[in-house]
Amino acid sequence: MKTYQISCLLFSFFLVLFSFKSNSQTIQYSPLRCAGEIPDDFLLLNYEKINSEFSQIEGSNTSKNEKNIEKEFANKSTFRIDDILFSGKTLYGDVLTNYVNQIADIVLETDPTLRKKLRFYVLKSSDVNAFSTYQGIIFVTVGLLSQMENEAQLAFILSHEIAHYKLNHTLNSYKLNEQIKNAKGKFAELSLEDRIKQTFGYSKENELEADKEGYKIYSKTKYSKQAVIGSFDMLLYSYLAYDEIDWHPSTLQDTFYQFPIKYKKNNESIIKADEEEDDEESTHPNIRKRKENIEVIINKSFTDIKWNEDTTIHLTSENNFYFIQKQARTELFNILINKADYYKLFYYSYLYSKIYSEDSIFCNHLSSFSIYGLTIKKLPENDDDKQTNSNNAFKSDEESDVEKFEGTFNNVYTFLKKLGYIELSILSTRLAWKNYTINPSDEIAKKLLHNSLYVLFRHSNLSADFFVKNQINDSTFKIHSNIVSKEKLTKSQKLKLKQEQQKEEIQISEYESSKNSKLKYTTGAFKLIFEDKYFEHLYDSLSFIGIEDRNSTNENESYNKYAKPQKKIMKYGHNAGIDSIIMLNPNYSTYKIRSEQVFVNKLMDERNEINLAQVYAEMAKENNINLTEINILDRKNLTTEKLNEYSIITDWLSERVNNSNNTYSIIYNKHQISSVIQNRKCKNLMISGLSFVSEEREVNPEVVLTSILIIPLLPAVIFHYFTHNKEVYMNTIIIDLENGELKYLNRKNLKFKPNKNILRAHVFALFHDLKSKKNNLNK
């Protein structure tokens, strides 16, 4: 008996423990990164890939002209693909890419030769797209994976892209487009408009052909043939969010915080997706044509098939598919954060919370973050803007944005657009508080709350007592808000009520005169929250600081604890005392401008970049600067870890750039960049590069004439016009990865031709400038 009791006790203990564990949720989601062995596509330099392409082209039995066009195409497309591979957005070895490869294995089970030629990667993009390349790489976007309804749809789309590769559409399209562009062959006599129409026409033919061929590939699998039609339906609505769930502003309200009626007006717009839309100026045929194209084949080859047996839409585990779908939808959040697309982020967090209710805490965090982001975006740039355009606080673009989007999202978008930055900061504070109470230990949750409150008072004319606290007798307030006969009140109750009314009237008249009457509905925004003593204390302190800073005449004063608007730009010649740097591979671009055309030699640029990176490394060593490189051109030493660091930095930079107001911006994935700082033991990121422009000089007839008349000048003038105008633009910035502060900026526009030694001198001088210390850094 005793043993039984003990075992029950233990069982209950573990049950409780497990239930606690299952309820705890990760607030932040770490973006997907590459994993495993690095594929060959990432290890070869472009000139190696191009050489291999060229040798294949040389071995083919085509005419010389055709070979030249193919080489030109191979050259251009290789660099373009390299840009995508090394954009920091291409994934391999992660769950999504592994899944796509798994489906590709199923699709090409009967054609292993073709399977070996093809490589599949996932691209971190919110666009719903998949595309194949001449080189056999097929990209599938996260946006597409988030929209997929079943495995069979993905299989068909992959088959479609494989068909493009098999039929060599990319190269053929290029050849045709060149002919059309240069009005050669059968296009010689067509006008420009007709030629453009031809381009669209041929593109649509390719799509239909790829559908047919793709279907042939697809039909060899065991997937439902009918599911193909579902793929087109999915594509038809793919421009909308991955789900359509109603949303209303009342989800953000409470008893004392109610939006005005005009805010709650339903702005859901008509969904215009049409299977038979006019596709004359589109590269893709409309969905009706595509469906008909496939239905013909299906009917032809499946006259005997009974449709009720053709239901297989998952050949791998169905749970696995939904897991992948969820992963893709989760990944979308990071993509939207990087793009600073807060409207979509807010809506998608709402959708996600409805679909995956177990992750509601995570979604709360994101919706709070998105509203804060919107608040910061709408902040005026300086106090003068705030003073002169006091209506900016309430600025909305109502007239231009009605029905900008379709469906429920338009409702969300229009509502958020109507809110000015003060209203948004109030809403942000409310959501941040809700988020904070769930996760008080989360740094970002804390920062969101503090920043929201501070921004509210720093950038508005509101006083600390604008917001009604829970100081009055609740019953009195209830009596006031509910219509009750005054005859039933005692004298003291009547007087209290009268005092309350008088206070309200004062507040109304005060703020109506300052055009803040629009904010009247927000006075009770924190009423319920004030019940928490911590919030009340926080409110009092931050409102005080915010108002103090607002009233301060010194623009440089700020609440150092929460945001540091430091903009110390280091000019040339000022010494930063920096002795360790993380350097992204320096950029080197050469442009030759001849007869108003720009010529770029990317192969030469690639070699120059490799050399420049070596120069940087050497010169840093000469100056005893510890330089750690994240050089994606150093393919021999490239690792998955390095690529991931590169991807983390590009994401961080996107977030920084897209959140132009750096003072209050909060970086979502700060822990990711912190890991880079820890690994590299350095927090200074250097981005550097140079562009060399060589331009023909314009001949000035007057100068030439003068030089003929004054003979001694003639040789100089001839020399001047025969030599090209050479300019070099060298830019270097150093950013502190911890706080985003710009630590060094050096921009030069010089007239010389960059040879190796002079570049060494300049790079040496740059590092020398960085390393040397001077006492006064504030100039």
CB of residue 587 to other proteins, shortest distance in Å = 18
Cβ proximity to other proteins, 16 vs 569, nearer residue: 569
Stretch that binds other proteins, among 452-460, 468-476, 699-707, 763-771 (CB under 8 A): 763-771
Stretch that binds other proteins, among 44-52, 233-241, 336-344, 762-770 (CB under 8 A): 762-770
Measured between alpha carbons, how far is residue 679 from residues 588, 645, 649, 673, 682 in Å? 27, 10, 13, 10, 8
Closest CA to 154 of 29, 306, 328, 302: 328
Strand partners, 590: 692
Check residue 14 for interaction with other proteins (CB under 8 A): no
Beta-carbon count within 10 A of 10 CB:
10
Query: Residue 273 and residue 334: Cα distance in Å, rounded?
Result: 28
- x/- site string to other proteins, residues 676 to 715, per CB under 8 A? ----------------------------------------
Cβ partners under 8 Å of residue 499, min gap 6: none
Beta-carbon count within 10 A of 237 CB:
17
Which long-range CB contacts under 8 A does 377-380 form with residues at least 24 apart?
Answer: 377/340, 377/342, 377/659, 377/661, 378/420, 378/421, 378/424, 379/421, 379/455, 379/459, 379/661, 379/664, 380/421, 380/459
Cβ proximity to other proteins, 207 vs 769, nearer residue: 769
Query: In this structure, what token pair is assigned to residue 475?
Result: 């019953």
Cβ proximity to other proteins, 222 vs 773, nearer residue: 773
Beta-carbon count within 10 A of 12 CB:
10
576 by DSSP, 3-state: which?
strand
Stretch that binds other proteins, among 55-63, 141-149, 389-397, 748-756 (CB under 8 A): 748-756
CB of residue 609 to other proteins, shortest distance in Å = 19
Q: What is the footprint of other proteins within residues 622-651 (CB under 8 A)?
A: 622-623
Check residue 777 for interaction with other proteins (CB under 8 A): no
Q: Please select the residue that binds other proteins; options are 381, 758, 777, 779, rule is CB under 8 A.
A: 758
Q: Please select the residue that binds other proteins; options are 212, 248, 314, 760, rule is CB under 8 A.
A: 760
Cβ proximity to other proteins, 372 vs 692, nearer residue: 692
Stretch that binds other proteins, among 202-210, 310-318, 672-680, 766-774 (CB under 8 A): 766-774
Q: Please select the residue that binds other proteins; options are 265, 272, 697, 774, rule is CB under 8 A.
A: 774
Q: Please select the residue that binds other proteins; options are 117, 761, 777, 779, rule is CB under 8 A.
A: 761
CB of residue 703 to other proteins, shortest distance in Å = 21
Query: Residue 743 and residue 687: Cα distance in Å, rounded?
Result: 12
CB of residue 753 to other proteins, shortest distance in Å = 8
Stretch that binds other proteins, among 265-273, 530-538, 676-684, 752-760 (CB under 8 A): 752-760
The residue type at 644: N
Backbone phi, psi, residue 245, to 5°: -125, 130
Closest CA to 152 of 354, 293, 299, 312: 312
Stretch that binds other proteins, among 61-69, 223-231, 642-650, 769-777 (CB under 8 A): 769-777
Q: Please select the residue that binds other proteins; options are 264, 284, 550, 768, rule is CB under 8 A.
A: 768
Closest CA to 363 of 21, 27, 655, 672: 27
Cβ proximity to other proteins, 88 vs 754, nearer residue: 754
Q: How many CA atoms lie within 13 A of 533 on its CB side?
A: 0
CB of residue 426 to other proteins, shortest distance in Å = 51
Give yes or no for a contact between 84 and 90, defined as CB atoms under 8 angstroms apart.
yes
Give yes or no for a contact between 333 and 142, defined as CB atoms under 8 angstroms apart.
no
Cβ proximity to other proteins, 705 vs 758, nearer residue: 758
Give yes or no for a contact between 193 and 280, defined as CB atoms under 8 angstroms apart.
no
Check residue 772 for interaction with other proteins (CB under 8 A): yes
Query: Residue 157 and residue 147: Cα distance in Å, rounded?
Result: 12
CB of residue 686 to other proteins, shortest distance in Å = 17
Measured between alpha carbons, how far is residue 253 from residues 52, 152, 279 in Å? 63, 42, 44
Q: How many CA atoms lie within 13 A of 368 on its CB side?
A: 31
Taking every pair of Cα atoms in the chain, the longest distance, rounded to a whole number of angstroms, is 122
Cβ proximity to other proteins, 41 vs 622, nearer residue: 622
Check residue 517 for interaction with other proteins (CB under 8 A): no
Binding-residue total with other proteins (CB under 8 A): 21
Check residue 197 for interaction with other proteins (CB under 8 A): no
Stretch that binds other proteins, among 192-200, 235-243, 410-418, 747-755 (CB under 8 A): 747-755
Q: What is the footprint of other proteins within residues 604-623 (CB under 8 A)?
A: 619, 622-623
Check residue 757 for interaction with other proteins (CB under 8 A): yes
Q: What is the footprint of other proteins within residues 557-576 (CB under 8 A)?
A: 573, 575
Stretch that binds other proteins, among 121-129, 380-388, 699-707, 745-753 (CB under 8 A): 745-753
Judged by the rule CB under 8 A, the positions of this chain that interact with other proteins are: 573, 575, 619, 622-623, 728, 750-752, 754, 757-758, 760-762, 764-765, 768-769, 772, 774
